[in-house]
A and B are shown apart, each in its own frame.
Chain A
Amino acid sequence: MLKPILYYQYIKNDLRRQPFAKYHFYIFCFLISVAITAPFIAKQPTMTQFLPPCIPYDAMTTRLSDKLLSPFDPQANLSWYRRHWLGTDGMGRDIAAGLVAGTRIALQVGLGSVALAAVIGLFAGLMSGYYGDERFRMERRCVLLWLLGWAIWGFYLHVFAQQDWCATQFYTTTIVFTILLIIVLHILEKIITSIKHQQLVWIIPIDYFVMRSIDLLQAIPFLIILLGLMPFIKQKSVSNVILIIGCVTWMPIARMIRAQVIRLRTRVFIQNAEALGYPTWRIWVFHLIPNLLTPLLVAMSFGVANAIMAEGLLSFLGVGLPDDLVTWGSICQAARANATHWWLVLFPSGAILLTVLIFNWLGEHLKQLK
């Protein structure tokens, strides 16, 4: 008898067979744990502390007395523990502490924006792949209802965005409002359709709309859209960068999901589920999405690599992220004034290279699963 196994066990078993996958996975875990424990690894030691931190400096602390120290400087006035092993930047901030703080931000931006891109891409890909051009039917009154709903949403954005666009509170309110609006519209739709009345049924070519909008967004290189959107942010913050990178990189994921769904739709198990009269959400959640997980993970790990690179570029140019935040890109930027400070370039770029490589390799390993 076949024993069902969990998805993560399936991945684990398959990754074991590949020679280097284990080590790449360990480095990935190391990066994640550094990102999580970053505030404890690098901070100012206090007297009452039981365990002293690895790096006795904060990423933000400026000490103008020892600015621009190279790693090979004697640093005679500093003890072994307080020595700047990777040097300092122009404001006397420790580079090692900056790298640790930068890991946190890079992974936050990378994973966060890819999660957003995956949600948008999964939804768009499922809609266009599952319904195609002919299968999405809606009564005219329901179409009008939904259009009205989205008009209300746009009006809300228009009014609310004038005041505090890009504040954290704005996101929370918008998400709650959107979810509530969707629920209310669904209930209204149920009520309306329960009234028996001869109505025109519209066939909406969802596939056409989604694919044309993807074409449109891919007409411009994504870094250019990113740069073009940056001056329109009122307030620099990490969540804005996550939002914008996520909204700009979902297109390849949606394309890939659409292709997979079109392939799966003709398979017997989906047709059986349709014949049994399962609701669409059930077919999606229990039958389609489990089969889409592996290609989605592959696309996501390449996406993380791209997003981390994009974040590095943005903070290197000094746009998007807050100015007082220490990231890999902003450490590199400090070396632009004077290229002789090689330690400001070498260590953060090594960190970016390592992270991007690890995510690219993990993607390659996951690709071998099928």
Chain B
Amino acid sequence: MIHFILRRLLYGSVVMFFVVLIISSIIYAAPVDPTRMTFGQRSDNATVQAKRKELGLDQPLYVQLGMYMRDILPLSIEGDTPAEKEKYQYFKLFSVGNHNALVFKYPYLRESYQTGRRVSEILSSAIPQTAVLALASMLIATFLGILLGVAAALKPGSVFDTSAIIASVMGYSLPSYIVAMMLALIGGYWLSDWTGLNIQGSLFELDDFGDNRTVWKNLILPAIALGIRPVALITQLTRGTMMDVLTQDYVRTATAKGLRKKIVIFKHALRNALNPVATAISGWFAGLLAGAFFVESVFSYNGLGQVTVTALLNFDIPVVLGSVLFTALVFVVMNVFVDVLYALLDPRIRLN
């Protein structure tokens, strides 16, 4: 088992290395000049040249690639000076030569062209909100999807089953931003006197005294909007596996020996039907981050997606690449986790 996990981890890190390589190579295909983005049209030549030197734009392409990779890697060799220390905020392990040191640091994702803030700072304020949103919508989706799927599988061909299938195909075909806008219109505007919800707003908001305040009710509409698609998928998957399991011999045996129907369904059948569902759910968790991009921009929910989309419209490339990199990391880690989980749940996978 440890061997299996190590192999998956190694494979994931190789994939991540290539992702970083691709991302750092496309940064140089951008149609904008970083220095002009930072300083605007009117700036003196000396400042621009100094910035170009700092970003390494006067170097050949492979050197620039190497510089970006060195910035991203958590373990690297940097200059042992206070200026470098402030730039990278590293933890020095030991000196290498007279002027350099092997350091351990957070990946340095450069600075935003627009605001001049560090990208890691921008992202770390946005990520918790998105994580809470994704978690909430996944909980809704899991609960509702499994319930609907089991109910549909119990009476195949009935009116409820057919309508559940049609509804899930509809839910699968609806883009998340459209669901989000409809929900904002209905829940946040037409029924707002009754529900008391806002059309826009994020989880952490500044109150009148300038303090951060957690507004939980702003989570409701985005979480439902984001959860519609997973509900549709989980319903279909649960229905399929549940119908497979219900025809098997041990379920018939359990029914024949006189167990109550509730126990047969939830204890014997559902536990075996949930293996593929569990892995699928954790796999989609990372995919939810992608869906969150659009839902967040509709609700002005100040998370990763909102930050990225704003950066995208402003050509703020370091921020876009930073968030793409983060999402890819989550996706790769999740894939490894899913493989391990599958191997844990189903011993037959481990043996192959």
Partners in one complex: yes
Interface residues of A, Cβ cutoff 8 Å to B: 165, 215-216, 219-221, 223-225, 227-234, 305, 309, 312-313, 316-319, 332, 335-336, 339-340, 342, 345, 349, 352-353, 356-357, 360-361
> Are B290 and A357 in contact (CB-based, < 8 A)?
no
Given contacts A220-B328, A232-B30, A232-B31, A319 and B173 within 8 Å (CB-CB): no
Q: Are B173 and A353 in contact (CB under 8 A)?
A: yes
In the complex the two chains form, is A221's CB within 8 Å of B313's CB? no
Would B312 and A221 count as touching, CB distance under 8 A?
no
User: Does B5 touch A at the CB level, under 8 Å?
Assistant: no
- State whether the Cβ of B293 lies closer than 8 Å to any Cβ in chain A: yes
B→A interface (CB under 8 Å): 15-16, 18-19, 22-23, 26, 29-32, 169-170, 172-175, 177-178, 181-182, 184-185, 188-189, 199, 286-287, 289-291, 293-294, 297-298, 308-309, 312-313, 315, 317, 320-321, 324, 327-328, 331-332, 335
Which partner residue on chain A sits nearest B314 by CB separation?
Answer: A231
Which of A215, A230, A231, A339 is within 8 Å of B199, CB to CB?
Answer: A339
Q: List 22 A-B contacts (CB under 8 A).
A: A219-B16, A220-B327, A221-B286, A224-B328, A227-B293, A227-B320, A227-B324, A228-B324, A231-B31, A232-B29, A232-B30, A316-B177, A317-B313, A339-B184, A339-B185, A342-B185, A345-B178, A345-B181, A353-B174, A357-B170, A357-B173, A360-B173
Which of A234, A335, A357 is in CB contact (< 8 Å) with B181?
A335
Residue of B nearest to A223 (CB): B290
**Known pairs A215-B15, A224-B327, A335-B181; A231 contacts B173 (CB<8 A):** no
Q: Is the interface of B mostly helix, strand, loop or mixed?
A: helix
- In the docked arrangement, what's the CA distance between A216 and B11, Å? 10
Residue of B nearest to A226 (CB): B290
How far apart are A208's CB and chain B's nearest CB, in angstroms?
Answer: 13
Q: Are B286 and A228 in contact (CB under 8 A)?
A: no
Given contacts A317-B297, A339-B181, A357-B173, 15 further A-B contacts (CB under 8 A): A219-B16, A220-B19, A221-B286, A221-B287, A223-B293, A224-B327, A227-B308, A227-B309, A232-B26, A232-B31, A317-B309, A332-B181, A349-B181, A353-B178, A360-B169
Cβ contacts under 8 Å, B293 to chain A = 223-224, 227
Q: Does B312 lie within 8 Å of A230, measured CB to CB? A: yes
Q: How far is the CB of B289 from chain A (nearest CB, A)?
A: 7
Measured in the bound complex, the distance between the Cα atoms of B184 and A332 in whole Å is 13
A219-B175 in contact given A230-B312, A317-B294, A339-B188 (Cβ < 8 Å): no
Contacts of B30 in A (CB 8 A): 231-232
In Å, the complex CA distance between A225 and B327 comes to: 10
CB-based nearest A residue for B21: A216
Residues in chain A near residue B313, CB distance under 8 A:
317-319
Contact B170 A219 (CB under 8 A): no
Known: A220-B324, A353-B170. Is A229-B26 also a contact (CB below 8 A)?
yes
CB A158 to nearest CB in B, in angstroms, measures 10
Residue of A nearest to B31 (CB): A234
Shortest CB–CB separation between residue B205 and chain A, in angstroms? 19
Among A216, A228, A229, A356, chain B packs the most CB atoms within 10 A around the CB of A228
Which residues of the other chain, B, contact A215 by a CB distance below 8 angstroms?
15
Which residues of chain B are within 8 angstroms of A313 by Cβ–Cβ distance? 175, 177, 294
Q: Report yes or no: B320 in contact with A231, Cβ–Cβ below 8 A.
A: yes
Residue of A nearest to B309 (CB): A317
Q: Complex: how many Å from CA A323 to CA B308?
A: 20
Supposing A219-B335, A231-B317 touch, asked if A356 and B324 sit within 8 A by C-beta, the answer is: no
Contact yes or no, B19 A219, CB < 8 A: yes
Task: Check A231–B328 contact: CB distance below 8 A.
Answer: no
Q: Which 5 A-B pairs have the closest CB atoms?
A: A349-B178, A221-B290, A356-B173, A228-B324, A234-B31
**B291 partner residues in chain A, CB cutoff 8 A:** 223
- Chain A residues contacting B309 (CB-CB under 8 Å) are 227, 317
